[in-house]
Structure 1
Amino acid sequence: MTVSRRVQRVERELREIVSVFLISGVKEPLMGLVTVTRVSASPDLRHAKVFLSMMASETEKQENLEILKSSAKIVQHLISKQLPMKFCPKISFILDKGFENAELVEQRLKEIKKGSEE
Structure 2
Amino acid sequence: MSFSRVNRINEEYKKEISDIIKNDIRDPRIAEFTSVVLVDVTKDLRYAKVYVSIMGDDKSKNDTIAGLKSAAGFIRKELGTRVKLRYTPEIIFELDNSIEYGMHINELLKGINKSEEDIK
Indicate the residue corresponding to 1:7 in structure 2.
6
Does 2:82 correspond to 1:82?
Answer: yes
Determine the C-alpha separation between the residues in 1 that align with 2:17 and 2:63: 18
User: Once superposed, what is the RMSD of the aligned Cα atoms?
Assistant: 1.6
Q: How far has the Cα of 1:69 moved from its partner?
A: 0.5
Q: Deviations over 1:29-57 (max 9, x none)?
A: 32231111221111221111111121222
Indicate the residue corresponding to 1:93 in structure 2.
93
Determine the C-alpha separation between the residues in 2 that align with 1:13 and 1:115: 45
**Secondary structure in structure 1 of the residue aligned to 2:36:** strand
- Listed as ranges, the matches of 1:53-68 within 5 Å are 53-68=53-68
**Secondary structure in structure 2 of the residue aligned to 1:39:** strand
Gaps in structure 2 of 5+ consecutive residues = none
Q: Report percent identity of matched pairs.
A: 28
**Secondary structure in structure 1 of the residue aligned to 2:51:** strand
Determine the C-alpha separation between the residues in 2 that align with 1:31 and 1:84: 29
Determine the C-alpha separation between the residues in 2 that align with 1:19 and 1:32: 12
Determine the C-alpha separation between the residues in 2 that align with 1:31 and 1:13: 23
Determine the C-alpha separation between the residues in 1 that align with 2:82 and 2:110: 46
Letter of the 1:9 partner, please give it: R
Q: How far has the Cα of 1:11 moved from its partner?
A: 1.0
Letter of the 2:21 partner, please give it: L
Give every structure 1 segment of 4 or more consecutive aligned residues whose post-TM-superposition deviation is greater than 3 Å. Answer: none
Indicate the residue corresponding to 2:69 in structure 1.
69
Gaps in structure 1 of 5+ consecutive residues = none
Determine the C-alpha separation between the residues in 2 that align with 1:84 and 1:74: 16
TM-score using structure 1 length:
0.87
**Secondary structure in structure 2 of the residue aligned to 1:84:** coil
**Secondary structure in structure 1 of the residue aligned to 2:48:** strand
Indicate the residue corresponding to 1:48 in structure 2.
48
